[in-house]
Amino acid sequence: MNALALTDRDGVYGSARAHAAAKELREERGRDFRALVGAEITLENESALPILVRTRTGYQNLCRLLTRAKLRGLPAATVQENPHLNARKEGRVRFNELVEFADGWIVLTGDEESPIRRALARGDRKMAGAMTATLADVLGRENVVVEVQRHRIRGETGTNRELIDLADALGLPRIATNSVNAATRHGRFVADAFACLRHHVTLDTAGRHLARNAERYLKSPAEMAALFADQPELLRNTLRVADRVEFALENLGYEFPRFPAPDGHNESSYLREAAYRGARERYSPLTREVRRQLDHELALIDKLGFSGYFLIVQDIVNFARSHDILVQGRGSAANSAVCYCLGITAVDTIQYRLLFERFLSERRRTWPDIDLDLPSGDRREAVIQHVFEKYAPLGAAMTANVITYRGRSAMREMGKVLSIPDSILSRFSTSWGSGRTDDDPESLREHLMESGMSEQHTWMDPLVHLYQAVHGLPRHFGQHSGGMIISDRSLDSAVPLENASMENRRVVQWDKDDCEDLGIIKVDLLGLGMLAAIQDTFTLCRERNRPPFEMKDIPPEDPATFDMLCRADTIGVFQVESRAQMTTLPRMLPRILSDLVVEVAIIRPGPNEGGMVHPYLNRRN
């Protein structure tokens, strides 16, 4: 095959991954392959209509339509508090909206869940013809395509004949498709399991919720040719439709916002002025070494076109500080003297001789990644809502977090599908754990038997098979803990938005890695419980008429604090509260800040696997 269209229900959730896979096939394997973008739109009557994006305008229209429908729905938190509300129907697409947004699409007549096929199934040929004719009038007859599918089920021959008659009457193209919901024939079992979960039934009681057979898998060209040997023109038409698709996600059109520099400045010149203004406050005197480092960093930032990004991050930091909210940059941004002088980070890169290229390099032309720590709770939410308001109405959103099936969730949900008793599933979860990766069949069977399941149980082999099949697949959709993306225009022209579970939050349909792969820029606004505790402490000091404290006033090498660290009295202390850190602290006995820097850095997978920890501690002692 040289093309594959992914049409997720009510979204483009998987399109970024499909685009990346297609790019890999082209670049690494020399394959001529395209990932076509589309979606299956759910209408108010719960029928579904597949749409292919033909042009960039069509993609923007699809994203805007999906965003409008999704934002009409209710946040999950509201639905949980008011179970009588039906959020699903609130977020459906109206048929007249298809007409409004249809420019740049190819609309397909779909499978048995489409409104056109449903009308034919109940004998309402007039309604089916009216809907199809309306779409043809709006989109043009070449952009409404009748799908002929052969799944070897009773009654489909008559339905296909009526569809062909409808296509001939309206002058519409006809193609052969397979309404795929599994990659292979055996994937039908997983599709059935998910159908059971979706409808809250077990496999024994699922009835007509299950697929009638295993024909809806990704058939090879040879299999499709055999299936439509009597009408080969349908297959040729399928390829013609694919060839008409012009759009790919390389043409997304996303742009990071430009910073509104004052008169007489562009972004680069204003960043230079702001950095040197901060440098004069940070350093006294302003030495040649500081100037040389700033000029080096500013030249590279300007060359890579990132000046506006630094100014926008500084703007967020300034808002937080002006509202008495602690904020501090973390991570590799601490290697930048520009970040230090802008007040984004609190580490003197010159004093500690930190390497700027660890943060930003000409060879690595990805956008810089500046993470901001904020006090968890209402203060952080105030900063997030400020960003939403600044780029309103739809210029900002949170990135998604795709939760996948792991050990416990995979076993519990597949066990429910197969009616396995809760007592067995609970014992399995306790002994197995969620982080296991050694999921070989024999090990799974042994743990199931230890959990009380008989080796001869009817569902033993199916349960093991389903567990392995769903492991790593997407389970549900959430929001990233702090990743925000912003745009110079409405984000719904680049990716659909929907309500997050929290009130007054919006989330895009891609996770942070997908956004990064497609050049969408993220700013992390991370909530830190310890920073909230520090801010509360400062507040208490003021309320009790103590001298006012700021972060910079905290003594970096307070003896009593290091005594507690040496005793591993660190529960609740960010960075040094894990069991591994608490084991290492009494052995290392840190007495100054740089000791703590090494101690935190060395308890990591790399140093551990490289056998560096014990030799370091032995030599130090």
User: What whole-number distance in Å separates Cα of residue 576 and Cα of residue 596?
Assistant: 9
In Å, how far from its chain's centre is CA 558? 42
User: What whole-number distance in Å separates Cα of residue 393 and Cα of residue 389?
Assistant: 7
Split at pLDDT 50, 70, 90, the class of 284 is confident
Does the pLDDT of residue 75 top 80, yes or no?
no
- Work out whether the CA dihedral 533, 537, 543, 547 comes out positive or negative: negative
Pinpoint the alpha helices (H) of 283-336: 288-304, 307-322
Please state, in angstroms and as integers, the Cα–Cα distance from residue 216 to each residue in 112, 182, 191, following that order. 12, 7, 10
Are 181 and 258 spatial neighbours (Cβ–Cβ below 8 Å)? no
How many other C-beta atoms lie within 10 A of the C-beta of residue 590?
19
Are 111 and 22 spatial neighbours (Cβ–Cβ below 8 Å)? no
β-strand pairing of 144-148 with 174-176: parallel
User: What whole-number distance in Å separates Cα of residue 139 and Cα of residue 144?
Assistant: 7
Give residue 592's pLDDT.
93
Please state, in angstroms and as integers, the Cα–Cα distance from residue 253 to each residue in 7, 57, 241, 267, following that order. 21, 10, 24, 21
User: What whole-number distance in Å separates Cα of residue 177 and Cα of residue 111?
Assistant: 9
pTM score, whole prediction: 0.89
Run of H or E residues at 382: helix 378-390
Please state, in angstroms and as integers, the Cα–Cα distance from residue 195 to each residue in 170, 190, 413, following that order. 35, 9, 12
With tokens 């699409």, the residue in question is: 105
- Reported as a single tens digit per residue, the pLDDT across 384-431 is 999 999 998 899 999 999 999 988 899 999 999 999 999 999 998 887
Are 85 and 155 spatial neighbours (Cβ–Cβ below 8 Å)? no
Dihedral, 515, 184, 248, 483 alpha carbons, nearest 10: -10
Q: What is the mean pLDDT of the chain?
A: 91
- Reported as a single tens digit per residue, the pLDDT across 513-557 is 999 899 898 899 999 998 999 999 999 998 998 887 788 788 888
For the domain 3-180+218-251, what is the CATH superfamily, name and number?
A: Metal-dependent hydrolases (3.20.20.140)
Peptide bond into 393 cis (omega under 30): yes
Does the pLDDT of residue 363 top 90, yes or no?
no
From 142-146, 233-237, 447-451, the region with the lowest mean pLDDT: 447-451
Give residue 433's pLDDT.
60
Structure tokens at 167: 């296509």
